[in-house]
A and B are shown apart, each in its own frame.
Chain A
Amino acid sequence: MLQGPDRRNFLVLAIQGLGAVIAGALGLPALSYLFAPPKAKNDVAWIEVADLAKLPAGEPAEIIFSHKRVDGWKVVTEKTSAWVVKTGETEAFALAPACTHLGCAYHWKHDSKEFTCPCHASSFSIDGKVQAGPAPRPLDRYESRVVNGKVQVGRVVASDGAGAGGGKA
């Protein structure tokens, strides 16, 4: 049996050790609960957004469409948009509608032929490259394909390849 200061030191150490074990056993699940992504609910479906033949050449077209989005415990159907650019008789790409600086909605300026963001004046070329302003990277794109003359879009892929920037389509 320990006596005196040794006993006291042992007790203090035991109190701290047991406390640390409890804090860890509660803290680690809490951290994973808060930071680990929840299990994916379903795969992203291709959504038909435009008839390629009807798109103008050399100008982006703003297309509004509805898509399903996993929102916590719900799957919601909501409207979203894409800037679709026709690049050939069988080719097109689709830009996600959020500026890569802070997520504001940008728009196309016909006279200067560029996308501009009203928030902090970032501007982008028609293929999404940064021309001016604070935007850190080119515009994000939807995964896209052309099937039987129709443009289909999938998920948004960040232009720096660091995962989806604007959520799932």
Chain B
Amino acid sequence: MLRGVLEWLDDRTGVVTGVRHFLDEDIPASSGWHQVFGSIAMFGFLVQAVTGILLALNYAPTAGEAYYSLKYIVMEVTGGRLIRQLHHWGASLMIVIVALHMIQVFIWGGYKKPREATWIVGVVLLLMTLGYGLTGYLLPWDNRAYWGTVVATQIAASAPGAGPYIARLMGVVDGAIGSVTFARFYAIHVLLLPPATMALMLLHVFLVRRHGVAPLPGDEVLPKKKFYPGQVFKDTLAIFVYFAILYTLAVVARVPLERMADPTDTSYIPRPDWYFLFLFQLLKLFPGSLEMIGSIVLPTLAIIALFAAPFIDRSKMVMVRQRGFAMGLVLLAAAAWGSLTYAAVAGTPKSAHSEYDATLVEPWQHLTPKELLKPDAQAPDFAKLAARTYAKSGCTVCHVANGEGGKMGPPLNGIMFRRDRAWLEAHFIEPQKMVPGSTMPPYKFAPPEMAAMLDWLLKLPPD
């Protein structure tokens, strides 16, 4: 039955013969485990496409609403957190695998004549992968997304000559990003890049087939192997290992959703995603007027060098063991990248912002002080004790908490981003010492009440 259907399909379309022909490819005797990375990258793209489409089915692509729809996906849609985290970690692993693929091809000398075009298309695909990362970073529309993108667009806008035009293309008006930038990044991420990626991937694979998998010197005299099933098995097993790592990350490593993008937040320390951290750190090495070297000149030179690699190195294929210079170059680049990234990570102070996760806020954190006083309130004991202390001390006369209370003093929601625990405690005891001219009376709470008040205040979510 199935055979009959396949025969009919093949007779009318030729698709079965086509697949068979594709799988029957002759590959060099030296092919093996070192050549699995390209297949993994294709698989990684497929996972991003599937999870991306799933996310888009529940996502509102406008600044502001994007945040609430993502929160809905993570907190309410069944499997939503897993899908989002697969997409998030999939993006990171994509960068890793594309880099490994390039490193392998580079060390083995696979970019050499006649495979220059294959390499160049590959470099474009690398840049497009980074483009996905840059545009996708904005789409959660939380503080991390907003501020990271502000910095990225400012860097692009500082490019000599083209800067203002790039800024206009990205919808940046007077250095500010908003709805227009969001719409452009979303359109690039889901409308422009995916079809372009697919077309270039096809071209890339076509070129690999046209020139054959890169052999090692001496391979010519050895009998060829078949792509299927030997190499396909290696590819599949490698893909499986990749998928297992991705899945584990998606299940175990929580991706936070910070507070919604707030252009007025002056306490936020912007950070790009980990793979751009080295660039971020590089800027610190070029202070003042030299900044352009780090932000524009060096990255541009690096990209040009990647494109030009097959034309700079025109020597014949040699054994991998003899490619000491290539390996040295890779090691040097890895060391530079690694140390810059490490310095950036080590130099990032922990902040309440990066610790906050809107998807972990529990319903009781939204209860007003009065609601917390009700005997049947579903809240931890410290919150109830805090509410009693809060009522007894008359705090509500001057302060708003979860929409309840006076407006004379500062609102208390989101105070976790503005003050730390020690500051708040000192302020309770001696307000005027911490804020000169403050009209708040001192409160010397007993230790349990003080602890409860501080715990509860630091749990009041931002509006």
Instruction: Point out residues on A near B: beta carbons under 8 Å.
Output: 8, 11-12, 14-15, 18-19, 21-22, 25-26, 29-30, 32-34, 36-39, 41, 72-74
Contacts from B to A (Cβ < 8 Å):
47, 50, 54, 57-58, 60, 65, 68-69, 71-72, 75-80, 82-83, 86, 229-230, 232-233, 236-237, 239-240, 243, 247
8 pairs, A vs B, C-beta closer than 8 Å: A25-B247, A26-B47, A26-B86, A29-B79, A36-B78, A38-B76, A38-B77, A72-B69
Which of B58, B230, B240 is the one whose CB lies under 8 Å from A22? B240
Q: Top 10 A-B pairs ranked by shortest CB distance?
A: A73-B72, A36-B78, A11-B229, A33-B79, A29-B79, A38-B76, A11-B233, A73-B68, A39-B76, A32-B79
Closest CB-CB distance, B31 to chain A, in whole Å?
A: 15
Residues of chain A with a CB closer than 8 A to B82's CB: 29
State whether B60 touches A19 (Cβ < 8 A): no
Contact partners of B54 in chain A: CB under 8 A: 30, 33-34
CA distance A11 to B82 in the complex (A): 31
A73, chain B: closest CB distance, angstroms: 3
Q: A33-B54, A33-B79, A38-B77 are in contact. Are A15 and B229 (CB under 8 A)?
A: yes
Q: Is the CB of A30 within 8 A of B58?
A: no
Q: A63 to chain B: closest CB distance in Å? A: 31
Known: A14-B233, A14-B236, A33-B54. A72 touches B72 (CB 8 A): yes
Return A18 CB to nearest CB of chain B, in Å.
5
Q: Is the CB of A30 within 8 A of B237?
A: no
Known interface pairs A30-B50, A39-B75, A72-B58; A25-B68 also in contact (CB < 8 Å):
no
Q: What would 15 more interface pairs be, CB under 8 Å, given A15-B233, A19-B236?
A: A15-B229, A15-B236, A29-B82, A29-B83, A30-B50, A30-B79, A33-B54, A33-B77, A34-B57, A36-B78, A38-B76, A39-B76, A73-B68, A73-B69, A74-B68
Structural contact, B72 and A22, CB atoms closer than 8 A: no
Contacts of A19 in B (CB 8 A): 236
Please determine whether B79 and A36 come into contact, CB atoms closer than 8 angstroms. Answer: yes
B69 and A32 within 8 A (CB): no
Complex Cα gap A32–B80 (Å):
9
User: B77 to chain A: which residues have CB within 8 Å?
Assistant: 33, 38
Among A8, A22, A36, the residue within 8 A (CB) of B239 is: A22
Smallest CB–CB gap between B388 and chain A, Å?
Answer: 27
Q: B68 and A38: CB pair below 8 A?
A: no
Residues on B with beta carbons closer than 8 Å to the beta carbon of A74: 68
**B57 near A14 (CB under 8 angstroms)?**
no
